[in-house]
Amino acid sequence: MRAANYLDLAPYRRSTVGFDRLLDLMNNAAPDAAEHYPPFDIERRADGTYRISVAVPGFRPDELEVVAQQNMLTVSGRKPGGEPQATYLHQGISTRSFERRFPLADFVIVQSAALENGLLTVTLKREVPEAMKPRKLDISTTAQPASTTEKDQAQA
């Protein structure tokens, strides 16, 4: 039952930029444990970027793929099937093929992807175009008092 896994994300929505809807989608998207592989973290960094870290032990860079298309980031890993199978007494490190999708907010771009020590790290940044950013307008005063305006009109 998913009720045990429910987490109130309301406090985090106020402190994130670009991933407001993403938190809800990740919490509600996967109906069973099989779809929670591989585990991942999403971190908001002090410099305004985001970092998604995906645990991919046993995968080489040529077995991983990161694709950014429109408002979706897809991370996938494919293990070749032609390798001889080892005989394990215990196999706790999963290396099965996977595909993870991360919905992205508008104007979020993928800056880089790197694999180090079994972690695939994808760095993202939200870059809102200047035309879309809010801007403050100066308020000018050009109106004259009514009595002065009436005198000017009478003289004309």
Would you place residue 2 in the very low, low, confident or very high pLDDT band (cuts 50, 70, 90)? very low
Residues in Cβ contact with 56 at an 8 Å cutoff, skipping those fewer than 6 apart:
38, 64, 77, 115, 118, 119, 120
**Cis amide bond preceding 38, omega within 30:** yes
Helix (H, G, I), strand (E, B) or coil at 146: helix
Reply yes or no on whether the pLDDT at 99 is more than 90.
Answer: yes
pLDDT tens, residue by residue, 58-83: 899 999 999 999 889 999 999 887 66
- Convert the pLDDT of each residue in 4-46 to its tens digit: 555 555 555 554 545 555 555 555 554 555 567 899 999 999 9
Candidates 2.40.10.120, 2.40.110.20, 2.60.40.790, 3.40.50.10420; CATH matching 2-83+91-130? 2.60.40.790
Which residues lie closer than 8 Å to 122 by C-beta, 6 or more apart? 51, 52, 53, 54, 66, 73, 75, 110, 112, 113
Domain coordinates in residue numbering, the chain: 2-83+91-130
What is the SS3 assignment for 26? helix
